[in-house]
Structure 1
Amino acid sequence: MQGVKTPEDYEELIRVIHDRHDDMSKSYQKIAVYLTQNPNDVAVLSVNAIADRCGIHASSFVRFAQSLGYEGFKELQALFQRRLSTAAPGFEARIKALDIELGARTDRSEVGFLRDLVVRDIASLQDMLADISPKALSDAVTLLEKADSVFLIGQLRSAPVVEFLRYILTMLGKRCVLLDAGGGLATHIGRTIRKKDVLLAVSFRFYANEVVNIVDEAGRNGIPIIAISDSTLSPLAKSARVLFAVPEHEYTFSRSLAAPMCLAQALTVALAARLQKDINPRIPTVTS
């Protein structure tokens, strides 16, 4: 990353990180993802605390900052601190506030696990509400409304999101096709998508290879793509016409789908409102 003009504000820094991401080393890519996903926490934590959370030595953060032209990490961190003066509270700050409100305690019982998950889901939903672009929502619903067919792909733990979308879109009378990994035909069916269709892809770290490959090929073919992922540095980002980055703050066994499922539901309710010309749309249900 030598020869790059040193970014003077947060927005310029993020642009440089995105432009240079593919040429970075694996450790620098991991740092870049953490910085873009957790800007408020980067502003207030020490470099050692940030390094611990990222799983990379603090010296690598210093070298990363120097590669962008800064004297050290503190100079880069100052951009995040200036941004924080006008930004909403970060994920950890929201969790702390919720812990106080709900009565923080260390509880390893079954109910304790439930409580911890609920607290994190509330914080994640609040972050998403603050960060999602109204224009991105509108653009995505427009693509869904105008598309002849909506093709859906999501594998591994993203599968429930696209299964939900298939159900609701079908109930709305929208022709949709799920690119199911079963049978090994997803890649081949993906090649039948036309430019008047839309591909809605969902994938989170660690990204399913087939999903990434199908999105890459569809992007090269000029197919409109709506992507739900965990970062603006996701492999889906470069091909997406509309990208929803829903950050995941812990890569653990208990990662929740509450935020992406809520986003999927919001898209379908907004689509229903347009299709039904009604400010209080009703999504039909299957009755016995």
Structure 2
Amino acid sequence: MMPNTAPVPKTYEDLIRLIHERYDDMSKTYQRISVYLTQNPNDVAVQSVNAIGEKSGIHASSFVRYGQALGYKGFKDLQVLFQVRLTTAAPGFDARVKALDDELGDRADDSDSSFLRDLVVRDIASLQALMSAISATDLGKAADLMQAADTIYLVGQLRSAPVVELLRYILTMLSKRTVLLDSAGGLATHIAKTMKPTDLLIAVSFRFYAVEVVNIVEEAHARAVPIIALSDSTLSPLAKSAAVLFAVPEHEYTFSRSLAAPMCLAQALTVALAARLQPDRQTPRIPVVTEP
């Protein structure tokens, strides 16, 4: 990444805008730093560069050089913008986890049930973060796109597969014509070529992004098909093609990353759609297979 010759950003919003503008031209290490900064702004505000480097798995000196490449004297000058933002921001993930631990009583426990407790605490924190990360405007726009679509295509692979399976089930029960671009049989890319601008693609992908999903999204965008993307970052390869992007930050787990927040968001989208399709908007419901 070439040194920044433009005016050095003076606000957090301007900094994030610059990061997005220069992301594609950054080295792989600087891209990783960009993702970490945009996903963990509260941690960046309060932790030392050494702690940030240890937590992200990137050497602290790379963060210093990254700040210099954006026009700052070092990382601390960049960090000030995150500290200013923190004065009006919701608590970060680690702060939420600590608060929940304190509330529930952080007892030393080495039994198998401690694994359940840890996952539940982290999932609650992720769901709390979801409330502040997702805007009502984006939810409304996505629901409108779903309502207007002739056919809703769904794509998500590997860990994202359960999210699109849930969407397929609920959308089908709401009588929306739905096509799952399943990788089985190797036809997903070919089926995707049948999408039209009057259709809609809902794509779900998190690190490390499935290549076929990214390719399908880019192809759909080139064909003027509107796209709703569920991903983990505004720097996701899905972001630039999406009419609506829901960035659900992921946080490292000792064993796996949770799907609690993406699943909840998927359900929220379908409930918002149901409210548009059913007479009683206040209490939308999803029919079940046993109903006549």
TM range (shorter): over 0.9
- Please say if residues 5 and 68 of structure 1, whose CA atoms lie closer than 8 Å, have aligned partners that are also in contact: no
In structure 1, runs of 5+ residues without a counterpart are none
Residue of structure 2 in register with 1:88 after alignment: 90
**Deviation string, structure 1 residues 80-113 (Cα, Å, up to 9, x no partner):** 0000001111110000000000111343322100
Is 1:143–2:152 an aligned residue pair?
Answer: no
Specify the SS of the correspondent of 2:262. Answer: helix
Secondary structure, aligned partner of 1:244: strand
Aligned to 1:176: 178
1:254 deviates by 2.0
- 1:159 aligns with 161
- Coordinate RMSD, CA, aligned: 1.0
Describe the superposition over 1:174-222 as per-residue Cα deviations: whole angstroms up to 9, x where unpaired.
Answer: 0000000000000000010100000000000011110011001111111
For structure 2, list consecutive stretches of 5 or more residues without a partner in the other structure. none
Q: Partners in 1 of 2:169 and 2:35 — Cα distance? A: 33
**Which residue of structure 2 aligns with residue 32 of structure 1?**
34
Encode CA deviations 1:157-186: one digit per residue, 9 max, x unaligned. Answer: 100000000000000000000000000000
Describe how 1:197-276 pairs up with structure 2 within 5 A. Answer: 197-250=199-252, 252-276=254-278
TM-score of the superposed pair, with normalisation by structure 1:
0.98
1:280 aligned residue (274, 277, 283): 283
Cα drift, residue 252 of structure 1 = 5.0
Q: 2-side partners of 1:203 and 1:105: how far apart?
A: 36
Q: Which amino acid aligns with 1:165?
A: L
For 1:60 and 1:115, the matched residues in 2 are separated by 36
Partners of 1:15 and 1:49 in 2: how far apart?
Answer: 25
1:22 corresponds in structure 2 to: 24
Q: Which one-letter code corresponds to 1:281 in the other structure?
A: P
- Rounded Cα–Cα distance in structure 2 between residues aligned with 1:83 and 1:196: 40
- The share of aligned pairs that are identical, in percent, is 72
Q: Could you list the structure 1 runs, at least 4 aligned residues long, displaced by more than 6 angstroms after superposition.
A: none
Q: Find the aligned partners of 2:265 and 2:116 in 1 and give their Cα distance.
A: 22
Tell me which amino acid in the other structure corresponds to 2:154: L
Aligned partner letter, 2:288? T
Q: Quick one: which amino acid aligns to residue 145 of structure 1?
A: Q
Residue-pair matches, total:
288
Tell me which amino acid in the other structure corresponds to 1:107: D
Equivalents in 2 of 1:282, 1:13: separation in Å?
Answer: 42
Answer yes or no: is the 8 Å Cα contact 1:107–1:113 preserved in 2.
no
Q: Distance in 2 between matches of 1:240 and 1:128?
A: 19
Mapped partners of 2:220, 2:131: distance in 1:
29
Q: Which whole-Å CA distance do the structure 2 matches of 1:10 and 1:56 have between them?
A: 22
- C-alpha separation in 1, matches of 2:92 and 2:279: 37
SS of the counterpart of 2:196?
A: coil
1:52 aligns with: 54
1:97 aligns to 2:96 (yes or no)? no
Residue 215 of structure 2 aligns to a residue in which SS?
A: helix
